[in-house]
Structure 1
Amino acid sequence: MRAFIALLPPAEVGTELDHFLDPRQEALAPRGHWRWTRPEHRHLTLAFLPELEEWREESLVEAGEEWAARTRPVRLALRGAGAFPDPGAARVLWAGVEQSDPGSLESWAQSLRALSSRAGARVDGTRFAPHLTLARAVGRPRAAGHLLQALDTVHTSPWVVDEICLVRSELGQGPGGTPRYAVRHTWTVR
């Protein structure tokens, strides 16, 4: 199965983000150029598992429980914006993440990727950059400087992250051909 380990922003932060994005989406991004992330799909990926055999899921869940028991919550807020790979030819627009304890998410991502690998999952090895995807370019990469100027003022209320989720991703199975996500397990960080 295709899966990822992620943190999900609380509903209040999602509402703040919606209020921020609603007037900007139509005004700045012509239809058909950008596909905005559906609110229920917003997450911050810590480990992407393009291939997790279902029979290995139980050992991953157990390893995650051990990790969560020795991990402390972290306080985050969404702040600022950027683009991958760069603003001149963007494929992804994202909101930045402000951490109360800088480096916490990087450490979490490293640990979760390592334990996933030990549990037998294939783990995507790209460099971790904490972000929440706001939109994806439709078709070819697009210039996004004007969008980033408007999106860079995003700043949500802070929240405490005390849960991490293992999420199954089924491509093309959601509304309009979007992915369908299903939380398979939630670990509570103490």
Structure 2
Amino acid sequence: MKIKKTNRPPRPASTPASAPASEPGALRRTVAEAQAAAPRRDRPAGQSAAGQGSAGQGAGNKTAGNKGAGSRGAKPARPAGRPDARPARDTGGRDGSRPAPDDGHQPAGTQRLFFALKVPANLVGPLREAQRKLRGNWRRVDADQLHVTLAYLPAVPVDRVDDLKRLGVTLMQDLAPMQVSLRGTGYYPNEGSPRVWFVKVEAEGLPELAQALRDGIHALGLETDEQPFKGHITLARKKGPAPRVPPLTFTHGWQAGGAVLYRSILRKTGPIHETASSFRFRAPLPTTPDPLAPDLLTPDSAPDTPPAEPAVTDPQ
């Protein structure tokens, strides 16, 4: 399903109020209701709606008046509240993979966060078996770090984390568990020297949930990455010359009963993901009618019954 990217708050859906919350239109409506219940707060100081810091621009004007500011070779002032290398600019591609930034830069007072589905323990074996095929300078993702990213936030002020927790509860409490399926492996980028090896995932309603989360995040005045959602699990990241693994196809899957808000902490050995909050999909699964229920039997399939005996009358 192709998803149209948008950075604007969603419009309330025109679906009836009785529509199930698991439908895409209902997710959109829930975002609008959450926005109305929690009015948009101002962005962090020095950050405008376009993601650029007005405070940084003022600092640049002030610097221009200092001695030597206009000399050749002077570096322009960077907007306040932005790292030297913004993670969201180099964290994704057409396949949706997001190689973790390793520059270590993070604006003061902010955190890297992301919404995701956690990969269950029963799938670790098949994925680890695939990782054993890697050779050279591939860095395998640890089993407890495997996940499906739904929305990535590169710089969240600490005092806004609770807003994201409330958004997660609002969007997910009325969703039913999702059946997630693994597909084939791929690389990012596909051409040249790949940096990430991943396996694709699919689930009904998963793209709609990812888009609803991003719309809700934007409605809160926070930023996400700018890449279209493509469900995947990152298996390894390349740190030097390394050969590719031939394509692999999986037939495994799992039933996702909820999602997680992770906090990403960068280390030299790779990112560490800590759970900031978790959310349950609390709606019941759709019930499938029993094909053998008596009220669903057709006349041809009804059980055989003996014919009624003729009534005996008194000969008198």
Q: TM-score, normalised by structure 1?
A: 0.82
Q: Give the structure 2 partner of residue 95 of structure 1.
A: 199
Structure showing greater relative contact order (alpha-carbon pairs closer than 8 Å, 6 or more residues apart): 1
Distance 1:78 1:108 in 2: 18
Secondary structure of 2:201's match? strand
Q: Answer whether contact 2:184 2:249 (CA < 8 A) is retained.
A: yes
Q: How is 1:34-53 mapped onto 2 (pairs within 5 angstroms)?
A: 34-53=138-157
* 1:70 Cα offset (Å): 2.7
2:258 pairs with 1:148: no
* 1:6 Cα offset (Å): 0.4
Q: Which has the higher helix share?
A: 1
Q: Give the structure 2 partner of residue 21 of structure 1.
A: 131
2:221 pairs with 1:129: no
* 1:87 Cα offset (Å): 5.0
Q: How is 1:1-190 mapped onto 2 (pairs within 5 angstroms)?
A: 1-22=111-132, 24-25=133-134, 29-30=135-136, 32=137, 34-99=138-203, 101=204, 104-139=205-240, 144=244, 147-149=245-247, 152-156=248-252, 158-172=253-267, 177-190=269-282
Distance 2:121 2:194 in 1: 28
The code of the aligned residue for 1:155 comes to T
Q: Answer whether contact 1:85 1:92 (CA < 8 A) is retained.
A: yes
Any idea what the Cα deviations from partners look like across 1:159-189, whole Å, max 9, x if unmatched?
11111100001111xxx53222110000111
* 1:59 Cα offset (Å): 1.5
Secondary structure of 1:14's match? helix
Q: Answer whether contact 1:53 1:121 (CA < 8 A) is retained.
A: no
Distance 2:190 2:139 in 1: 17
Higher Cα radius of gyration: 2
Q: Answer whether contact 1:163 1:188 (CA < 8 A) is retained.
A: yes
Distance 1:3 1:163 in 2: 17
The code of the aligned residue for 1:181 comes to H
**Identical-residue share of aligned pairs (%):** 30
Q: Answer whether contact 1:95 1:134 (CA < 8 A) is retained.
A: yes
Any idea what the Cα deviations from partners look like across 1:7-66, whole Å, max 9, x if unmatched?
0011111123223433x23xxx22x2x111111211110000001111111111112111
The code of the aligned residue for 1:16 comes to P
Aligned length: 172
Provide closer, same or farther for how the CA distance between residues 115 and 57 of structure 1 changes in structure 2, counting only shifts above 3 A. same
* 1:125 Cα offset (Å): 1.5
* 1:154 Cα offset (Å): 3.0
Q: Answer whether contact 1:87 1:143 (CA < 8 A) is retained.
A: no
Q: Answer whether contact 1:20 1:154 (CA < 8 A) is retained.
A: no
Distance 1:148 1:123 in 2: 33
Give unmatched runs, 5+ long, in structure 1. Answer: none
